[in-house]
Amino acid sequence: MKVGIFSHCTMDTIVYENEQYDAPGGPASYCSLTARKQKHDVNLYTKYGPNYPLEEFFKENKINTPDALSSNSTTKFRIELNGSDRKLFVENMCEKINFMENDNDGVIISPVFDEISLETYSKIKNSDNFVLLDPQGFLREKNANNEISLKKTSLDLNNIDAIKMNPDELYAMTGLTGNDGIKQLQKLGIEHVIYTNKQEISLLVKDKLYTIFLPKMTLTDTTGIGDIFCSTFTCTMLKEKDFLWALSFAGGAARNVTVTTAGTGDNAKTNTIVGTDVFGNEIGGRDNPQGFGPQAAYGKDFDGKVVKSGLYIVTLEKESTILKTTVGVLNR
């Protein structure tokens, strides 16, 4: 499967307490690398300046970057972190991204700030089979100090299959909050509306709202987590055509917990849960046959019944820590 990603590569200066460091970033980097990890071919439509540190890495990982090199400097942001507060400043913008004819199976549109014109946006969303939009860059404006804030924005959402938004972005686009805003986006024709609110991730499809709760973890820098979620959701939808599995798998990828499935040799309709839980313990497999709550190894529960596809609440315990989380099971 082939995924197209439209977004600027960036250089981010991340400031925390009295320290700062520079790192390459942006949805272009995080989404494309995530898609390659999931064995998808990637066309990255972006712009970056000379000596961008990931240019060779893209080539080594077979990420196609047509017409990406610009004579202008790479887009640069300054991210100031203070507890859960985050301030974003734009320090430089590279040139805009142009539309290219392509044979992608799906596409992620995830601008960071003014690099995709509305004309280009229209061409992108009308040219691919599955389109996920993370509209953050369309909603942003800067003040005299180059600090980024959100503005009320109206976008044409025709031919958008999925959209991901947080509470502030939802309000900027709809003037509504919570379920009212989510339903408003659905009325505009979007089949999969994803709403992220800290540890809570919800997905509205038809008349049902599915919600997973990620474990509370102390994270100083959450840069790139939303991009990893978007890329994993898109790749899983393209491969499996199963929105519940895409939601749960993307949630797992975003919180850096590995949960994968593989069919067993003697029964193609069962699956083995493998990987590690949030404590680093092995899940499933021959060395841990009772590894993951009621949905044990090899796709069967403790009573020997095949575990059906769906979302499952799992309790993980280690010493004095008890964590309830949600995982997805997909029977092949």
Q: What is the pLDDT of residues 198-233, one digit of tens each?
A: 778 899 999 899 988 766 654 444 556 788 899 999
* Residue ranges of E strands in 38-128: 41-45, 63-64, 75-82, 85-92, 106-109
- Are residues 110 and 37 part of one domain? yes
What is the average pLDDT score of the chain? 79
- Are residues 68 and 197 part of one domain? yes
Q: Over range 64-68, report the average pLDDT.
A: 97
Distance CA 6, CA 44 (A): 6
- Are residues 158 and 307 part of one domain? no
In a domain, 166, yes or no: yes
- Are residues 304 and 188 part of one domain? no
Q: Rounded to a whole number, what is the distance in angstroms from the first to the last CA of the chain?
A: 18
Distance CA 50, CA 174 (A): 39
Q: Give the structural domain span for 288.
A: 259-329
Say if residue 80's pLDDT is above 80: yes
- Are residues 226 and 312 part of one domain? no
- Listed residue (241, 212, 223, 235) closest to 34, CA to CA: 235
Span 81-114, pLDDT tens digits = 887 688 999 999 999 999 999 999 999 999 999 9
- Are residues 222 and 91 part of one domain? yes
What is the band of 137 on the pLDDT scale with cuts at 50, 70, 90?
Answer: very high
Say if residue 303's pLDDT is above 90: no
Q: What is the pLDDT of residue 152?
A: 96
- Are residues 275 and 236 part of one domain? no
- Are residues 132 and 26 part of one domain? yes
